Chains A and B, each alone.
Chain A
């Protein structure tokens, strides 16, 4: 087995530039979640002071967790990734305005995000979709939450403290993209298959 690269959050410029597509990593420290509504909100009115957490250098995780509130304390019960492509149209702005060093989700992202990763020094991390209990076990606690009332628990921004959270770098800051490689190869295969009757 390959030994994962252990990363502590927030990430530095050099952490990011050292990472290559295909690297298996673990994350420890604080990260935030955000999905459809948070992205739309942040991209439409980028005002840093409004977000109660410092996002610079951290990872934005595309995740709408199942969270249980026990005596005022929130625990992530199930917290796997959601499909990242849905927020592709907002991501470049969010990376630029908030100084994120990592975007984590599943399935990869498009050309606009790929360019932003290169331009602003950021990586895209894929983590196993559907592995919600396995991944929630790596979330030590929910430290904070923003927009809970307005957006609800699925769409709110959660600040999670994670330990050894597993992921794989699939889009690096040098323009490499594993998702695109797989897609191009499968397209060539498809073209052969639909030629034959």
Chain B
């Protein structure tokens, strides 16, 4: 497990100091669409320059190295308890070595643990896989954009949102409108629909791990993603919330079955510094 621990430390370094190619490419493509000399264009240029500097100097792209969220697929026979301990060890080492900002604060004493570990910190989701390879996905989820997320229970009269995909669309637009520039747009939007609150928030997070360039396997949901992205960008909030054409880079939606009486929608907001990566072992 020692070698694996070092592998996870390197995963932390890679995720904290670089942007996935699909996200960087999307930012690059957004630049020519913004008016020359506008706050939107200059913000996008600064973001791209920051990405280059972080990659070259191996410094954290953003000072908020966020809540580390792990999605782990563990082959049968490998202990999940050992896996968790290895992740915690790697987290302590990465915090000192990368360095990461210590973000784990005790709610009662208000003390920062100093090493990014604590009760439920980092967030670790594990599931068993029949595949022989261990796969560890890591997302560093910034606090600003996490705060911008919203959970909805449909129907919702104030938005005219019924229990259908049009209702979901209204929720997504409302969440982005409420977020404005506070969560660092251009955003990546993850949406989860289903029967229970805890499940939809996780499902929305899962969507944030998808590549911007992938297509939803369900053609109706794929069309929904496309239309909603266009509409979000029509809101005019723009990069950094200072106006412009690029408010989001992608919308990704996942749907579970729901209860006849329940229709929960979670909208998870990812900032432009959307740090995610995978380690295959």
- Residues of A participating in the B interface, judged by any CB pair closer than 8 Å: 1-2, 24, 37, 63-66, 68, 77-80, 82-83, 85-86, 106-108, 126, 128-137, 152-155, 166, 168, 170, 178-179, 181-183, 185-187, 189-190, 193-194, 197
Contacts and interface: CB of A to CB of B under 8 A. Distances in A.
Interface of B: 37, 39, 42-43, 46-47, 49-50, 53-54, 57, 59-65, 99-103, 110, 112, 114, 142-144, 147, 159-160, 166, 170, 173-174, 177, 180-184, 231, 234-238, 240-243, 271-273
A134 B46 contact: yes
A179 B240 contact: no
A127 to B, nearest CB: 9
Given A132-B63, A133-B57, A133-B59, A85 B177 contact: no
A133 B37 contact: no
12 contacts: A78-B63, A83-B182, A107-B182, A108-B180, A128-B47, A130-B62, A132-B50, A135-B50, A179-B242, A185-B243, A194-B170, A194-B174
Contacts of B144: 82-83, 106-107, 129
A66 B100 contact: yes
A154 B182 contact: no
A189 B153 CA distance: 23
B60 A66 contact: yes
A126 B238 CA distance: 14
State the main secondary structure of chain B at its contact with A. loop
Nearest to A65: B63
B61 A193 contact: no
A34 to B, nearest CB: 14
Contact of B242 (A63, A170, A187): A170
B60 A77 contact: yes
B240 A186 contact: no
Most buried by B among A82, A130, A193: A130
Nearest to B184: A129
A182 B180 CA distance: 8
A182 B242 contact: yes
B180 A133 contact: no
B271 A130 contact: yes
Contacts of A155: 112
A11 B110 CA distance: 35
Given A154-B112, A168-B39, A194-B160, A128 B46 contact: yes
B102 A152 contact: yes
Given A126-B240, A126-B242, A190 B235 contact: yes
Contacts of B173: 190, 193-194
The 10 A-B residue pairs with the shortest CB-CB distance in the complex, in nearest-first order: A107-B182, A78-B63, A130-B273, A129-B184, A134-B50, A131-B50, A152-B112, A186-B235, A132-B63, A83-B144
Contacts of A183: 180
Contacts of A133: 50, 53-54, 57, 59-61
A173 to B, nearest CB: 19
Given A133-B50, A170-B242, A186 B177 contact: yes
B63 A80 contact: yes
Contacts of A79: 63
Nearest to B182: A107
Nearest to A85: B182
B241 A182 contact: yes
A71 to B, nearest CB: 16
Most buried by A among B47, B53, B181, B271: B181
B16 to A, nearest CB: 9
A134 B234 contact: no
B156 to A, nearest CB: 11
A111 to B, nearest CB: 15
A183 B247 CA distance: 12
B75 to A, nearest CB: 35
B240 A134 contact: no
B234 A137 contact: no
Contacts of B174: 190, 194
Contacts of B59: 66, 77-78, 132-133, 136
A131 B177 contact: no
B151 to A, nearest CB: 19
Contact of B64 (A77, A82, A152, A168): A82
Contacts of B64: 64, 80, 82, 132
